[in-house]
Copies of this chain bind each other. A is one copy, B any other.
Amino acid sequence: MENSRRRGRPGHDQGAVLTAAVRLFNTHGYDATSMFDIAESLGITKSTLYHHVSGKEQLLTMAVDRALGALEEAAREAIGSEAPAVVRLRNLIRASVLVLADRLEFVTLLLRVHGNTVAEQHAVARRRAFDRIVTDLVRQAQAEGGVRADVDPATAARLIFGMVNSLIEWYRPDKGAPDSIADTVTALAFDGLRSH
């Protein structure tokens, strides 16, 4: 713990700057938020802020990394495993729910990014690569007979991750433990609402 603390006034470490920036991006939009707004919300000057980060694009890249880094690690595990595709798909869905619950503000920003700056386009490209991995897993699981063959794999991947990603709209710690939400998501994703 001691090592992760920084000396100095609040707002004077990069983690605090990132947290403040992401909060403003999520509330007012990335475009509408200036470096001045971020400095002001931390009670520091703009030149002090530039001492920590090169600009808004660096903050966006760092924030998106917090979200995508964890999701991509889960995807790598799903790809690397020798388990049947349906098991790997289930593990990836479960892991993604846990990442969302743990990094809600970073994933919120990631999912709202649609813009045209280089940093935004790069984030969108990484999201698409993740989506392709999910679609491929659905397709493999269909080929192995673990997932129903009557749904288009890309549509199924989008709908299941629509369910996962909806957490950014409604999940707060008082809605349930992340493990229990992950159980509900995987139960609905694989077996649906119907009582069996």
A residues bordering B, Cβ < 8 Å?
28-29, 31-32, 86, 89, 138, 141-142, 145-152, 155-156, 158-167, 169-170, 175-176, 181, 184-185, 187-196
A152, B182: Cα distance in complex, Å: 13
B155 touches A175 (CB 8 A): yes
Which residues from chain B contact A89 at a C-beta distance below 8 Å? 193
Which residues from chain B contact A160 at a C-beta distance below 8 Å? 163, 188, 193
B158 touches A166 (CB 8 A): yes
Interface of A is mostly: helix
A155 touches B176 (CB 8 A): yes
Q: Beyond A155-B181, A163-B166, is A146–B188 a contact (Cβ under 8 Å)?
A: no
Q: A136: shortest Cβ distance to chain B, in Å?
A: 14
A194 touches B151 (CB 8 A): no
